[in-house]
Chain A
Amino acid sequence: MALSIPVSEPIARRRLPAWLRGAPWLAFLVLTIVLVCAVGGEDILPDDPNGLNLADAFRPPFWAAKGSAAHLLGTDNMGRDILSRILAGSQISAIVCAYAILFSGCIGALAGMAAGYFGGIVDAVLMRLIEIQQSIPSIALALILAAAMEPGLTTVIVVIVLTYWAWYARIIRGEVMTLKGRDYVNFARVAGVGTPTILVRHLLPNIFNTLIILATLQVGQVILFEASLSFLGLGIQQPDISWGLMLADARQYITSAWWLITMPGIAIMLTCRSANILGDWLRDRLDPRLRQL
């Protein structure tokens, strides 16, 4: 596999390892910034993201007329600092992405491995579950679930996990089915290695790359999915802030105060694009077979 590249190159050569050449540095940079903002907590916020100041509402970004250095990206309809809100939103977006991806990835991987490895009745049942999941429109499912639970962070995560596990499961299942036929798995089985060991020791490392790639590709989807939920008022709720919520709330002012929707929109675009570029790059590096994803 591509990762088996010597990690320690002679320092004297001062060149990047081959597998890092052509890496999408800009995408890395953007994602690092987002992550730093996300873990930075309240310390890095220039202003209280929920600090109401009606007298200072609709202040444009600093470069525009009437803009102010106190609010670099301007203020929203309630006079809240947009930069602070975007930064605070990155925290929530990161939390949603992390949990949603972790859980849907784990559940999907487990289901996919079980279906691919055991085949037969296990596969048949799991495949039906996957198809049931895919045949229910995800937004409808999300909507009913959000109505059944209280809308908010937890609900958004649950909804996304329920929607996306099938996607992981389907792809992992295919992977495992091919891997299962490989000699080393057969050898292990013949040598009397137990099923759990085969799954964990021999199969999991091999599908790990796929999981990483799927996860990076999911980042953008999660953010947009949350935005759709926010459009209906069923996404993240105040006082939590998400970019999707900012975008959905700001659509009222798209003509009268363009920066309200544009600023979080740019944050979403940059993050989605960076995550996708990173995913693309990882895929090309790690596993060209997955290029079609």
Chain B
Amino acid sequence: MPRFLLHRLLQGLVSIVGASIVIFLIARLSGDPILILLPNDASPQLIAETKRNLGLDLPLWHQYLIFAWNALGGDFGRSYRWQMPALQLILDRLPATIELAICGLVFSVAIAVPVGVLSAVRPGGWTDRFGRVFAMLGQAMPAFWVGLLLILFFAVELNWLPAFGYGGVSHIIMPAIALGWYPVAAQTRIVRSAMRDVLDSDHIRLSRALGTPEHWIVWKYALRNAAVPLLTMLGVYFAAMLGGAFVVETIFAWPGVGRTVVEAVFSRDFPVVQAGVLFTSILFVLSNLLVDLAYGIVDPRIRADR
């Protein structure tokens, strides 16, 4: 187990370093921040001087090594635009985005599991049909449209939920739905097919023959086994939500890291882009690691396999 963990950790590190190189290079392809940063009448000398101060006159590989070395010490550079440490800017906004991504994930799983289970147990039943339609809608509507419709209905028409902003539980309901609706369809499918496989398996047939109550079979034995394939994907879904959160953050004026990174891209604020993307990558690797660990808990056989 520790060996396996160490191996995964190493792999994760390689991925993070790789991701940081990719982002570093592409960000620099997107243009020069100097002209955005300096006053209109900046002399060529001032431009050159500023370039030198920001280290933008060095060869790319050298710039990257400096960035990587400083990043190891927790220094991601100062935001060109906000003139504050990029790390602080990102870390201040990160909790809100993580909160949003987790709630979005919880929403999608909370819908996908019961719908998936019931549609495997009773295909063609009303939960199956309703669930499929619900999942379909989420899969075919961009998050910004869903978000606006939610606001118009639950905030403006019914006045049940606040239309925007960060705060208590009521604030996160609509953003979580807007973010978490899209993967419901895919997750439902995973749960349904896994349930079908498990329900057809011998040991469930045996349990049935032994007279175990059906709901017990479905919700305890079968679901426990069917959860594994969904679990394996949770890391990927979590990352997708972190990455896709910026649309929802913009619509709901959610003070998250997604909006910060998007604006940083527009203003070529490289340190913020790098720190923002790198932290998302780290979260992705960590959540996959957690998922790997969780396997062992849900399904002890896998632990033995490794």
Contacts and interface: CB of A to CB of B under 8 A. Distances in A.
Asked whether the complex places CB atoms of A and B closer than 8 A, the reply is yes
Closest 5 CB pairs between A and B? Answer: A137-B243, A291-B193, A132-B18, A148-B30, A272-B140
Contacts of B193: 291-292
A129 B267 CA distance: 28
A135 B19 contact: yes
B105 interface: no
Contacts of A147: 30-31, 265-266, 268
Contacts of B182: 224
A231 B245 CA distance: 13
A140 B30 CA distance: 13
Contact of A144 (B16, B27, B137, B239): B27
A135 B140 contact: no
A220 B281 contact: no
Given A145-B26, A148-B26, A248-B144, 5 more contacts: A131-B285, A137-B244, A148-B31, A224-B142, A292-B229
Contacts of A145: 26, 30
B70 interface: no
B262 A276 contact: no
A19 to B, nearest CB: 20
B273 to A, nearest CB: 7
A265 B149 CA distance: 12
Contacts of B265: 140, 143-144, 147
Interface in A243-271: 244, 247-248, 251, 254-255, 261, 265, 268-269
A131 B239 CA distance: 12
Contacts, number: 135
Given A141-B26, A144-B273, A147-B30, A134 B143 contact: no
A97 B219 CA distance: 40
Nearest to B276: A140
The interface size bin for chain B is 35 or more
Contacts of B72: none
13 contacts: A128-B11, A131-B11, A135-B19, A140-B23, A140-B280, A147-B266, A227-B144, A248-B142, A251-B148, A268-B141, A273-B136, A291-B192, A291-B193
A128 B152 contact: no
A200 B26 CA distance: 34
The interface size bin for chain A is 35 or more
A163 to B, nearest CB: 10
Given A139-B243, A228-B247, A293 B189 contact: yes
A50 interface: no
B233 to A, nearest CB: 9
A70 interface: no
Contacts of B196: 291
Nearest to B26: A144
A138 interface: yes
Contacts of A131: 11-12, 15, 18, 285
Nearest to B266: A147
Contacts of A135: 15-16, 19, 239, 280-281, 284-285
A124 to B, nearest CB: 9
Contact of B277 (A137, A148, A291): A137
Contacts of A265: 141, 145
B144 A251 contact: yes
Nearest to B194: A292
Contacts of A18: none
A71 to B, nearest CB: 22
Nearest to B28: A148
Interface in B239-273: 239-240, 242-244, 246-247, 250, 261-262, 265-266, 268, 273
A132 B17 CA distance: 8
A52 interface: no
A232 interface: yes
A36 interface: no
Nearest to B15: A131
B190 interface: yes
A148 B28 CA distance: 8
A136 interface: yes
B152 A255 contact: yes
Contact of A269 (B141, B240, B246): B141
B176 interface: no
A261 B118 CA distance: 34
Interface string A112-140: 00000000000000001101101111111
B14 to A, nearest CB: 5
A230 B172 CA distance: 25
A254 B149 CA distance: 9
Interface string B131-169: 000001101111111001100100000000000000000
B181 to A, nearest CB: 11
B142 A227 contact: yes
Nearest to B230: A292
B29 interface: yes
A143 B262 contact: yes
Nearest to B29: A148
B17 to A, nearest CB: 9
Nearest to A243: B142
Contacts of B29: 148
Contacts of B236: 134
B185 interface: yes
B140 A220 contact: yes
B60 interface: no
